[in-house]
A and B are shown apart, each in its own frame.
Chain A
Amino acid sequence: MSNTAFGILKSGYVARDTFVHRLDGRTKFLFFLWISIFNYIFYDLYVTITSFAVVMILAFAARIQKFVATALAIIVLPILLLGVGIIAGPFGFAANKTAIVSTQLFGFTIGLYLEGLVYASVWTSRLAVTITAALLAYVTTHPSDFAAVMLKSRVPYKFAYAFLATIQLIPILTNEISTIYQAQVSRGLNVQAKLIDRFKSIIVLMIPLTLGAINQTQIRAIALESRGFSAPVKKVMLRDPTLKGSDYAVILIMVLMTCVFVYLIWTRGLVPFMVGIEYVRPGG
């Protein structure tokens, strides 16, 4: 996962001129929270698949579908395959009753069960929706807007600094570990060695990386102090994001859809559209 994660975190903002990019960061963040929460409330594959279709359409509209597809293939697909193979398979998931396909092998019944398949699909599609919505907000918002949005949302500026500094530090430290790794390999580090030796290799890679990072911490602290980071004055921003007509339109759609969802829960419960599939609690 890390290489993909690094690729996404390294590139961070993807500059495009699309409808999604022009939306305010707060609207995108609100959409991310809203769709994630409702996906975890409903236990209905139709709802999660529809939500997934919506976020994927937005990803295509923002022209970040490649990022999203890579992240989903590496994070969600393995969970889906494990879930379907084990939960929907012949391993005794308690809710399994309806066999979709089954065969006898050496006296054992090997089959794929509807209840387990729906359970695994619902949980993994929930993850897929929330990850896609997160990437939509993150990749289409300029880092400077991130800072401005955080400060405007009354997030303490020290937290905003820590958040943005982490995003900046990840590519820097990843490049440094690449340099340290190459240096150690040239000095005889064997990454194909036995498991115990590979564990020992962590130490020779982590000590120079960590000490270098701590040294930079001191320099960064001096730089921040010299720029008045701790000064007891009101901070000003270079960018001043404002909500536009399109933002209000998206917020209005979310409000209307919230009313629809509340109505559905009130009248049809948490499984409004799937027929013949009962709600299965985790562990229940």
Chain B
Amino acid sequence: MTTQTKSTGPTTVERPAGFAILQIVLIPVIAALNYVTGVIINILKLPLFMDTWATMFGTVVAGVWVGAAGGFLYNIIMAFTLWGLPAWVWGFINIYIAIITWVFWRTGWVTVKSPAKLVAAGIIVGVTNVLPVTIISWGVFGLMPTYAGTAWIYAAVLASTGDTLSASVVSSIIAEIPDKLISLILAAVVASRMPARFTLRPPKA
């Protein structure tokens, strides 16, 4: 017969006590991940922005307000450092992205288990995102072309319609749909690979 003796080592804390603090600490991580994705896109030379995928990921793993706050903070940091003050309004895009991602997540569309629904959700996010993007482009950039990747589409539409609004909307559609689709797929894939011990949602009562 063996007797088990209770170890008397120092107290170690393996998990924080509250989910609230965990979620607050996650907000800067989401903002930084949105930023660092830009570095990866640069390395891989991909024709996308991908600076909302972490907002989507944060929404899926920790809730809508964490995703929205992380995304908004990313835009605040960029506006106060490199993009200039008016660019803070891009933060509303991140809030919109967090809300629509949460809606699709609640309805079970943001999951790698049903790829068709995931792709449909990504396309819908991209299409509906054109409206806030156009509003911000109107106020901050005067509907001018700002992205070299779609500048030729902008020029072609402007040449055929003479209208900067149409040119901006069409070039936004071309840029937004693949960007948001791939961002949502990436968020779903990374969330699906997250071990259960990293749970960031409070346990259900």
B86 → chain A closest CB, angstroms: 6
B196 at the interface (CB under 8 A from A): no
Interface string of A1-31 (1 = CB under 8 A from B): 1111110110000000000000000000000
A134–B84 touching, CB < 8 Å: yes
A162-B38 CB under 8 A given contacts A135-B81, A211-B198, A225-B17: no
Stretch in contact with the other chain, from A58-66, A194-202, A235-243, A257-265: A194-202
Contacts of A8 in B (CB 8 A): 81-82
The answer on a CB contact under 8 Å between A130 and B22 is no
Contacts of B148 in A (CB 8 A): 78, 82
B43 at the interface (CB under 8 A from A): yes
- Report the count of interface residues on A (CB-CB < 8 A): 85
Nearest to B197 among chain A residues (CB) is A218
A255 at the interface (CB under 8 A from B): no
In the complex, chain B residues whose CB is within 8 Å of the CB of A126: 86
> A-side binding surface: helix, strand, loop or mixed?
helix
Total contacts A to B, CB within 8 angstroms? 235
> In the complex where A93-B158, A130-B85, A137-B80 touch, is A230 in contact with B28 (Cβ < 8 A)?
no
Judged by a CB distance under 8 angstroms, whether A57 is at the interface is no
Please, how many angstroms separate the alpha-carbon atoms of A2 and B44 in the complex?
Answer: 12
Give the interface SS of chain B, mostly helix, strand, loop or mixed.
helix
> Smallest CB–CB gap between B123 and chain A, Å?
16
- Taking CB atoms, residues of chain B closer than 8 Å to A110 are none
> Which residues from chain B contact A4 at a C-beta distance below 8 Å?
82
Q: Given A36, A78, A173, which contacts B84 in the complex, CB threshold below 8 Å?
A: A36
Q: B79, A134: Cβ atoms under 8 Å?
A: yes
Give the contacting residue for A82; candidates B86, B151, B165; CB below 8 A: B151
Bound: A93/B163 CA distance, A: 7
Residue of B39, B44, B78 touching A174 (CB-CB under 8 A): B39
Which chain A residues border B205 with CB–CB below 8 Å? none
Contact B16 A218 (CB under 8 A): yes
Closest Cβ neighbor of A159 among chain B residues: B73
Chain A nearest CB from B67 CB (Å) reads 13
Is there an interface contact between B83 and A162, defined as CB atoms closer than 8 Å? no
Q: How far is the CA of A87 from the CA of B164 in the complex (A)?
A: 9
Interface mask (A61-105 → B, CB under 8 Å = 1, otherwise 0): 000000000010001001100110011011111100000000000
Which residue of B27, B160, B168, B198 contacts A162 across the interface (Cβ within 8 Å)? Answer: B27
- Interface residues, chain A, with chain B CB atoms under 8 Å away: 1-6, 8-9, 32-33, 36-37, 40, 71, 75, 78-79, 82-83, 86-87, 89-94, 119-120, 122-124, 126-127, 129-131, 133-135, 137-138, 158, 161-163, 165-167, 169-170, 172-174, 177, 181, 191, 195, 198-199, 201-203, 205-207, 209-211, 213-218, 220-222, 224-226, 229-230, 282-283
9 chain-A/chain-B pairs, Cβ below 8 angstroms: A3-B39, A37-B85, A86-B154, A91-B155, A92-B161, A173-B35, A191-B45, A198-B46, A216-B29
Top 8 nearest A-B pairs by Cβ distance? Answer: A130-B84, A165-B28, A221-B16, A169-B32, A36-B85, A283-B165, A166-B28, A131-B84
B residues at A contact (CB < 8 Å)? 13, 15-18, 20-22, 24-29, 31-33, 35-46, 50, 53-54, 57, 61, 69, 73-74, 76-86, 138-139, 141-146, 148, 151, 154-155, 158-165, 168, 182, 186, 189-190, 193-195, 198, 200
Beyond A170-B36, A199-B182, list 7 extra A-B contacts (CB 8 Å).
A71-B82, A137-B80, A162-B73, A166-B28, A206-B40, A214-B61, A217-B22
